[in-house]
Amino acid sequence: MNDYISREALIKAVEGNLYVTDSVKSYVRCTAKSIPTIDAVPVVHGWWIQNDNGTWSCNRCHSWIPDEQHYYARYCLYCGAKMDGGDHDAAD
């Protein structure tokens, strides 16, 4: 699994370190700004809740799907939650 960090947080951490020289701070600042970025969003975990009428609802957005679809739906079709029953409110 990849670890993603904030460019600004890296620069702030290096600039706030008293033991790092100004030339190293400048190098880190320039290097961090030259590295390409990605749009990373936290993964929202969820699970299906069985309803009395034979449908299944997403625990996050409460949208429902027919009974036979919940076996195949790895993600909620409406809010995009990853239906793995993972840790409640956990993010990857």
Q: Number of folded domains in the chain? A: 2
Domain that holds residue 78: 41-92
How many separate helices (H) and strands (E) can be counted in the chain? 2, 3
What is the pTM for the complete model shown? 0.52
Residue 27 shares a structural domain with residue 67: no
Residue 52 shares a structural domain with residue 81: yes
* CB distance 47 to 85 below 8 Å: yes
Which value, to the nearest 10 degrees, does the dihedral of the CA atoms of residues 51, 53, 56, 58 take? -60
Closest CA to 33 of 10, 2, 17: 10
Per-residue pLDDT reduced to its tens digit, 58-90: 999 999 988 888 778 899 989 999 998 866 544
Residue 54 shares a structural domain with residue 76: yes
Residue 34 shares a structural domain with residue 55: no
Quote the pLDDT of residue 62: 93
* CB distance 35 to 25 below 8 Å: no
Residue 51 shares a structural domain with residue 90: yes
SS3 category, 42: coil
Per-residue pLDDT reduced to its tens digit, 14-54: 999 989 999 999 999 999 999 888 887 788 899 999 999 88
